[in-house]
Amino acid sequence: MSRVRSGDFDITKNIRLIEWLKCQMLNSVAEIFNMLASGAKASQEALAQCLGNIIITCYLLGKRLGIHYALIDQAIEDQLRLEIIEDNDIEQSYGDLSELQQHLRDSHAEF
């Protein structure tokens, strides 16, 4: 009779969790697409819920892949800075990236 080592169980458990998180992300993206494609006006609350689920899932997936939350935050900040410098079309037309950058700075200042 073979015994499952504790480390093997942890690896299997981690792989299963990663697969579940990937499915959760796909489900949330699909839900947004369905809301937008349905023709009916999706509520801001429902859309915000799906977007929030995607963001949380990204952080949790990163953690399961060995990426610390702070590193994800830094990657977001770096990407925003780069897109602003490169005068991204969204930034150029709407200023959304600068607005998001400021929002994140303000949010971090609260903590």
Instruction: Output the pLDDT for position 2.
Output: 52
Domain parsing of the chain, residue ranges: 1-67, 68-111
| pTM of this structure | 0.85
Q: What's the rounded Cα separation, in Å, for the pair 24 and 12?
A: 18
Q: Which two tokens stand for residue 42?
A: 């999706």
What's the whole-number mean pLDDT along residues 66-89? Answer: 95
Residue 74 has pLDDT above 90, yes or no: yes
On average, the pLDDT of the chain sits at 91
Instruction: Output the pLDDT for position 3.
Output: 56
Query: CB-side exposure of 18: number of CA atoms within 13 Å?
Result: 12
The angle at the Cα of 88, spanning 111 to 84, to the nearest 5 degrees, equals 40
Tell me the pLDDT band of 42, cut-offs 50, 70 and 90.
confident
